[in-house]
Amino acid sequence: MKILRKTFAYILPAMLVLGGNSACSDFIEIDPENKVPAEEVDFTQTANMYQPVVGVYNEVRASAMHYINALLMFTRDGDVWSGRYDDQGAAADFSRSFVYDNSYWGLNQVWINWYNIIRIANAALESLDGYAQYLTEGSADYETYLSYCGEVRTMRAWAYYNLVTNFGPVPLYRDNLQTEFRRVTVASVYNYILNEDLAFAMEHMERMRPNQMVHPGAITAYTAEMLAAKVHMLLGNWEEVERLTDDIILNGNFSLYGDYYQLFKIPGKLCDESLFECQVTDFGVGSGDEITVDQFFNCQGPFSLTDGTNSLGGWGFIGYEPEFVAWAEERGEDVRFTTSFLRAGSTTPEGWTIGGANGTSTDCWNGKAYLPYEQMTPGRTTYGSNNNVRIFRYADVLLMNSEAKIRLGKDGDAGYNEVRGRAGMPAKTGVTLDDVLDERRMELCGEWGYVYQDLVRTGRAATVLGPKGWTEDKIYWPVPSTQLQNLPDLALEPMEE
């Protein structure tokens, strides 16, 4: 096989170095650039050992929360679509008719976004190893080093998870000096995620909630367990799904946040339901520096909301299909309907009127991205400003656990009913697989493409999405044309590893 002697710069922008010589009690406040070149870092200063980890969290915030990820990844399940044909019409074709244009800039950007995180994670692990040479193996500081490596490995595994569930076979980028970029099979990527990154992370990270960590909001062993459970769910390994989610439920001390509406807003930041959350801050002041997710929320909001005096507005890119809204109404949803859907002409619980569609998009937008004006820091009124992005939630753990138990011939009522109870829905007995899948559809709508993954793994995509143009060969997106032009080995058949 020909080995391409090209740098990964074709796939990724120029390398951002890790290191630094400042510290802060809240890790999201550390300078995201980490500008000190790695060769200049004094690794004997082991008190600075968390800074490479901070660099990865910052890259997650910059790359994973790029608005194009939401525009393409959240809109694959037939319930959610990209909302507009007048701007980024190719993205609308991806979600409404499953016409994949591999020359579309956004597809290439999604690819780049996830490999950015992997690249920074690789560099962070190298930096952590630099500190480790000055630690005594078996000491408390050495155990901290191992835990930090677990955080980085979990974020890297999550990046691979998003690559493989969207693009299918992809290259494993093990080293930032790597020069060979042939894709490996989906099974090989899953094996890498589970056995090289998450197994290490689950062994060495803290077994506590993220909001209990010394660095509040940092991911933990339970985050790694949840990601591993999601991979095993895709593989149909239900005993492992049950085992991992049982451990989270029985030992993690997680609980559902009582108010579903506020869960996705400022009061719900880093609550006991959160297993993985991208943090932001405006430091509580109305101007100056802030740490944001750029346009992640803004792209999802309706064009306008007003209370008659003040106004907010987004880009109108993430909308719900009328059939899904009607399905939710027919179920008798109230709490989740109010939270998840912003319909043109209706009002929010705060009394703000939602503007119309301007003739170019949906008339119902993703309410989980909405932050009330009343919760914003005065002077910071960009749509969703100062809100965290929820990535992994305990509700998903409960529903995975219920499904695993049902598939194993056991009673899956408990977790299912706990999720429904928070939403004000009546309890059921003898819960079925269809019940759980419907609950996942409602509970997780508009979140990270989980419902699309459910359709594919259960074999229901052909029935649900087939009328829209989906076929089995469209489970995954094609490799972006820019990548194929610069790295032709990506066109080779994926290999087992």
492 DSSP 8-state letter: S
Q: What is the pLDDT of residue 3?
A: 29
Q: What is the pLDDT of residue 403?
A: 99
- Structure token pair of residue 372: 């009330």
**Which CA distances in Å does 459 have to 120, 318, 452, 471?**
35, 25, 11, 11
Find how far residue 192's CA is from the centre of its chain: 19
Contacts of 67 (CB under 8 A, 6+ apart): 294, 295, 296, 298, 299, 317
d(CA 318, CA 404) in angstroms, rounded, equals 31
Residue 457 phi, psi dihedral angles, 5° rounding: -70, -25
Q: What is the pLDDT of residue 26?
A: 38
| H or E, element range at 156 | helix 140-167
d(CA 195, CA 451) in angstroms, rounded, equals 26
Q: Residue 291 is which amino acid?
A: I
Q: Is 72 helix (H, G, I), strand (E, B) or coil?
A: helix
d(CA 343, CA 364) in angstroms, rounded, equals 4
Q: Is the dihedral of CA 194, 197, 201, 203 positive or negative?
A: positive
**342: which strand partners?**
365
Q: What is the pLDDT of residue 21?
A: 29
Q: Could you count the other beta carbons within 10 Å of the beta carbon of residue 102?
A: 14
Query: What is the longest distance spanned by two Cα atoms in the chain?
Result: 66
Q: What is the pLDDT of residue 360?
A: 67
Q: What is the mean pLDDT of each run of 10 residues along the chain (497 residues)?
A: 29 33 34 49 95 96 98 97 88 95 98 98 97 98 98 98 98 93 97 98 98 97 99 98 99 98 98 98 95 96 95 94 97 98 97 85 94 97 96 99 98 98 98 98 97 98 98 98 96 96
Q: What is the pLDDT of residue 361?
A: 76
SS (H, E, C) 202-255: HHHCCCCCHHHCCCCCCCCHHHHHHHHHHHHHHHCCHHHHHHHHHHHHHHCCCC
